[in-house]
Amino acid sequence: MARDLVVILTALNLEYEAVHRRLDGPRVHRHERGTRFEVGTVRGTSCRIALALTNKGNHAAAVMAERAVQEFSPVALVFAGVAGSLWDTARLGDVVMATHVYAYHGGTSEDDGLKARPRVWEAPHRISQIGSYLARANDWADSAPARERPPQVRFGAIAAGEIVQNSKISAEARWIRQHYNDALAIEMEAAGVAQAGHLSGAPVAVVRGISDRADGTKSSAKDRNTQPRAAANAAAFAVRLAVELVAEEEQIAMSEAGGNAPRADKTEGQVSNTAHNSTVGIMAGSVHDSTVRLGAAPVGSDHLALLAELDRIRADVRQHHVQGVLDDDTYREARAELAIADRATRENGPEASRTTTMALKRLRGLVADVPELVTRLAALVLAAGALS
């Protein structure tokens, strides 16, 4: 599994662009069958996003979701875009995160009417927990105009079918509201993505911005205002969710590597380890007697040791570029992150330490295909976090 990458899929170009605007350095990644993804990094984080367009419909979304999972083995699969609201619970511009998804077109036609036989997929507990946390933290949305109410996050069922719903009085509209009266929103792709996630074992999150009421009032004139806002809000929450998922994966990786992640406390110029007088492995490095070691060289609060390791990393990045392992764009971005880390390390202080740590995390995402560098950078991130 790529522990720093989340796939985000959208059905419309408008939705795609809303996510794309939040990525730094997006580069085209071509699937062998011609599908184009763009892979970029969320600004200020080590989280990478692989972005792709599915086009409309559950079937197309399912195929693209399965392809994305096989290609990237992501931390999670997120479907982000717009939807219609079935009730007044969610206002235009609000975001609905699915607690479960209905494929509402399942049924049986009998003499006394159409009986519902839906497929249902529940959201993974971990993703639901993170979504609820982000809703409470309420720091995900872009700044709203002064007179505009900030968007809210709603949690509930999302109904997915194969047709555009824009009526409250049609036979099908009445049937949907009768049999799926707990659904907050209705759209056309979530069931396909949920099924693909179920079959591949990939966690799935569905995030929808409310762009219309699905009640006959949907019009092109209104969509020009409501759709972009709803798409932007869905993209903002989806990207924030992806960042949190990757951050949690990093914590899990540290715990798996060393039992307990070392505290960023200084003890005699080194990084303090909660498991004193023991060795905690950090992949190629280790923490022993409160000292983080990279190879044979201890790196604690010693800025010179950290700078020396940055030089070694820089040389190895250059060598991998010469060998063709890293392409020109990746090499250029990697050098830029190394320069930021080097400069911040020389400046010293808590803020400089945070800058160094973030630069190293972004670098780790850039060289994710070079396990040796990822291993060394994981230990270096811990060491940089202890500098002040």
Phi, psi dihedral angles at 31 (to 5 degrees): -75, 150
Angle between helices 220-258 and 371-385 (to 10 degrees): 90
The answer on pLDDT for 388 being more than 70 is no
List pLDDT tens digits, range 26-47. 999 999 889 999 999 998 899 9
pLDDT class of 359 with cuts at 50, 70, 90 = confident
Q: How many C-beta atoms surround the C-beta of residue 82 within 10 A?
A: 27
Give me the domains of the chain, ranges plus CATH numbers: 5-251 (3.40.50.1580), 259-385 (no CATH)
Q: Residue 293: which H helix or E strand, with range?
A: strand 291-294
Structure-model confidence comparison of residues 74 and 166, the more confident one: 74
Highest mean pLDDT of the ranges 66-70, 104-108, 162-166, 212-216: 66-70
φ/ψ of 98, rounded to 5, equals: -70, 125
Asked if the model's pLDDT at residue 260 lies above 70, the reply is: no
- In sequence order, what are the beta bridge partners of 9? 52, 79
Task: State pLDDT tens for residues 187-246.
Answer: 999 999 999 999 999 999 999 999 998 877 777 676 678 999 999 999 999 999 999 999
Determine the pLDDT at residue 281.
Answer: 37
pLDDT of residue 48: 96
* Average pLDDT for the chain: 83
**Backbone conformation region of residue 57, classed left if phi is above 0, alpha if psi is from -120 to 50, else beta:** left
3-class DSSP state of 123: coil
Q: What is the model's pLDDT at position 282?
A: 38
Which one, of 369, 260, 311, 358, lies nearest residue 24 by Cα?
358
**Residue 299 is inside which H or E element, if any?**
none
| Type of residue found at 252 | I
Distance, in Å, from the CA atom of 37 to the CA atom of 54, rounded to the nearest integer, reads: 11
pLDDT bracket for residue 257 (50, 70, 90): low
309 has a pLDDT exceeding 70: yes
Give the Cα separation of 132 and 119 in Å (integer). Answer: 24
Lowest model confidence (mean pLDDT) among 87-91, 209-213, 270-274, 361-365 = 270-274
- Asked if residue 274 lies in contact with residue 262, where contact means CB atoms within 8 angstroms, the answer is yes
Q: Is the pTM of this model over 0.95?
A: no
